[in-house]
Each structure stands twice: as structure tokens, then as C-alpha cells.
Amino acid sequence: MESWNFLWAIVPVAPLPHRVLDFAPSEDTLATHMHEVRSEVRALLHAQGMRATAARIAVLVTLHEQAGPMSHEQVMEVLSEGHYDKASVWRILADLADCGVLSRMDLGDRIWRYELLDACRAITDDHPHFLCEGCGGVSCLPPLEVRARDGALPAALQGANFRVCVMGHCATCASA
């Protein structure tokens, strides 16, 4: 039996875009922002032929503001006011993932996370993620490319789809 004696090199192909909020937004700016986000997510729902219910809007606004993957539990923490029950939020996340409004992923810890990828984020659909095994924090990574350290991929893997999953400890956990 042939041995798999090649090593993977994971090579970043583009810099990671950062969302930098370098000003303290006034209440007006914040209200305008939230108004825009709400109409944006309403349009996303309508484009799918889905009714823009208060609960769906709340879930999408939460994910929009997070600008990264969130678990059901994390979404519930944000929607903490007691207006939304766990089961309906589960249902909403599942429906939105099924119709492609959200991407759904398991980053290796068997927890489903959901991410909203919309025009506000300069990152491609298929970007990989880093999961911190210490605090459970997740960061979006720039697009990565998988290749064998000594050249081309074995023929069996050409045309394969890779789902890159990166784990370790984030800077905060590593220095604790």
C-alpha cells in the first residue's frame, strides 16, 4: 500500500480584511446603521420569499453585527430579553442555512455555527476559520490554499474539495 508521505503546506493567498471601528459612533449614527441593517436583512428574506418576521430579523441583525460565525447559544445570549424561545431560533437558523442565506459549519467541536456573508463583508464564501480550543473564540481567516510541500497534489486529490479547519490557542489564551 502506498504511503501518504507528503506534508501539507497551508498558504495564505490574501490579507485578512479587518473591520475597524475607529470612531465612537453617535447615537444618531448608530440608529441610522441599525435602520440600514434591518432593511438589508428584510431584503435578504424577501429575496428568498420568506416573511420578514421580527424573530428572523433579530437573528439576522445579530449575525450581521457579529460579522463572524455564531452558535445557537451565542445568538440566544444576544437575544436575551426573553422574547424569543430557543426552539424557534433553532428553526430560524436551520431554515436560513437551508436556503443559503446563512452558511452553517462544524469547526471540529461538533457545534453548529452560522455565519452571514453579505455584501458588507469583504470576504469570500468559502473562507476557513480558526477555532480557539481555550475560549471557543472563532476568527475568519483569509482564503487558504492547500498544496503538498514538494509540489503538486497526488492525482487522487486533484479536483478534491478541501475544508480547512485550523485549531489552536488564540493570542489571549496563549498568554494566559
Sites of contact with Zn ion (CB under 5 A): 115, 132, 134-135, 137, 140, 170, 173
What is the b/e burial string over 1-37, where b = at least 16 CB atoms within 10 angstroms of the residue's CB? eeeeeeeeeeeeeeeeeeeeeeeeeeeeeeeeeeeeb
Cβ distance to Zn ion smaller for residue 6 or 130: 130
Nearest approach, Cβ of residue 7 and Zn ion (Å): 26
Cβ distance to Zn ion smaller for residue 52 or 132: 132
Kindly state the cell numbers that stand for 164.
Answer: 480547512
Hey, which residues does 144 pair with through a beta bridge? 12
Cβ distance to Zn ion smaller for residue 164 or 173: 173
Nearest approach, Cβ of residue 164 and Zn ion (Å): 12
Residue pair 146/140 in contact by the 8 Å Cβ criterion = no
Nearest approach, Cβ of residue 2 and Zn ion (Å): 36
Kindly state the cell numbers that stand for 13.
Answer: 493567498
List Cβ neighbours of 91 (8 Å cut-off, separation of 6 or more).
Answer: none
Nearest approach, Cβ of residue 102 and Zn ion (Å): 11
Cβ distance to Zn ion smaller for residue 57 or 107: 107
Cβ distance to Zn ion smaller for residue 134 or 154: 134
Nearest approach, Cβ of residue 113 and Zn ion (Å): 9
Helices and strands per DSSP (H, E), number in the chain: 5, 8
The CB density around residue 133, as the number of other CB atoms within 10 Å, is 13
